[in-house]
Amino acid sequence: MSRNEISELLDQLFRQAQMQFGSAIKSRWLYDGDSCPGCGGKIDAVKWKKKKAMSLNAFIYRDHGVLIAYLLCGKCANHIFQEAKTNPYGQTDLHNVIEKNLKQAYLRQLGH
């Protein structure tokens, strides 16, 4: 996945979030670290329907009104896919770790 493709997808996610949540979404930020925010491993492709894909995800950091987008490693993406089979809309422990790590990274980027 090229940076341009990621940027286009992030633009779409941002517009969709603004339509759904209005002024609560003020900005967007892409975590572009080399390590997975879930486990710290290398970000790599995941097998999806017998093809390689990247797992682009996002959540809203409400305190700052920012849509934070990120990529996961295949191991973490697969873990979330498996959990979703039994609890489709549930928040996993891994989601909590990812959000905590990304909120800290965002605040560091802001200089806090």
Q: DSSP per residue over 22-83, as a string? A: GGG--EEEE---SB-TTTS-B---EEETTEEE-EEEEEEETTTTEEEEEEE-HHHHHHHHHH
The domain segmentation of the chain, as residue ranges, is 3-110
* pLDDT tens by residue, 17-46: 999 999 899 999 999 888 999 999 999 888
The Cα 66–Cα 45 span in angstroms is 26
Give bridge partners of residue 71 from the DSSP assignment.
56
* pLDDT tens by residue, 66-81: 999 999 999 999 999 8
pTM for the structure as a whole: 0.88
